[in-house]
């Protein structure tokens, strides 16, 4: 049997702090979501001034990245390349850039999803959060 890594509350707090620091450094107001490998919510923070819809988009991006074990942007690119049938993929709702999986030893242990600024900036914040783990 294999043993797998899991995110602890301490890990989640490190990710959240690093992501929020990146957002504040750039004066970006966003919602930040962190999920486990099954896409289940572990953390959601909506900064002041963020539209309420971002509280739905950020977790959807995170869930998509966790379930697919890949960046949510990959799905957006597939759809934009003409593979519209992918819109019917089960359980995937946040097929927009800004969801980044957390990979440990080749396995996805969760994901970070961010919403509130340009998608590339959302992804930048998510990556900064994951970098806070020091992997």
Question: What pLDDT shows up at residue 90?
Answer: 82
Q: Pick the residue with more confidence: 93 or 126?
A: 126
State the pLDDT at residue 125: 98
Indicate whether 1 belongs to any domain: no
* Predicted local distance difference test score (pLDDT) of residue 38: 97
What phi and psi values does residue 35 have, to the nearest 5 degrees? Answer: -125, 165
Within-domain flag for 4: no
Alpha helices by DSSP H, the chain: 9-25, 54-68, 72-80, 119-131
What percent of the chain is predicted at pLDDT more than 90? 82
Given CA atoms 77, 82, 85, 87 in this order, what sign does their dihedral have? Answer: positive
Task: Determine the average pLDDT of the residues in 118-128.
Answer: 98
Residue 62 lies in a domain: yes
Q: For the residues 106-110, what does the mean pLDDT come to?
A: 96
For residue 59, tell me if it sits in a domain.
Answer: yes
Cβ proximity of 55 and 44 under 8 Å:
yes
| pLDDT, averaged across the chain | 95
d(CA 19, CA 91): 25
Residue 62: predicted pLDDT: 98
Average pLDDT over residues 55-80: 95
Lowest mean pLDDT among 42-46, 86-90, 112-116, 123-127: 86-90
In this predicted structure, the answer to whether residue 3 has a pLDDT above a threshold of 90 is no
Has residue 127 been placed in a domain? yes
Average pLDDT estimate for 38-47: 98
CA torsion sign for 66, 93, 50, 117 is positive
Asked if residue 3 belongs to a domain, the reply is no
Q: What are phi and psi of 45, to 5 degrees?
A: -135, 125
Whether 86 has a pLDDT exceeding 80, the answer reads no
Structural domain tally of the chain?
1
33 is in which domain, residue-wise? 9-131
The rounded Cα 107 to chain-centroid distance in angstroms is 16
CATH (domain of 45)? 3.30.450.150
- Model pTM above 0.85: yes
């Amino acid at each position: 049997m294999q043993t797998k890594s899991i995110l602890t509350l301490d890990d989640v707090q490190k990710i959240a702090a690093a992501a929020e620091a990146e957002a504040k450094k750039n004066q970006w107001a966003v919602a930040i979501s962190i999920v486990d490998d099954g896409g289940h919510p572990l953390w959601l923070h909506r900064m002041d001034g963020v539209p309420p819809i971002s509280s739905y988009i950020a977790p959807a991006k995170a869930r998509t990245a966790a379930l697919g074990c890949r960046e949510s942007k990959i799905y957006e690119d597939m759809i934009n390349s003409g593979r519209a049938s992918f819109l019917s993929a089960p359980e995937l709702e946040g097929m927009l850039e800004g969801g980044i999986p957390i990979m440990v030893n080749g396995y996805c242990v969760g994901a970070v999803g961010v919403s509130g600024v340009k998608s590339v900036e959302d992804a930048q914040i998510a990556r900064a959060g994951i970098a806070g783990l020091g992997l």
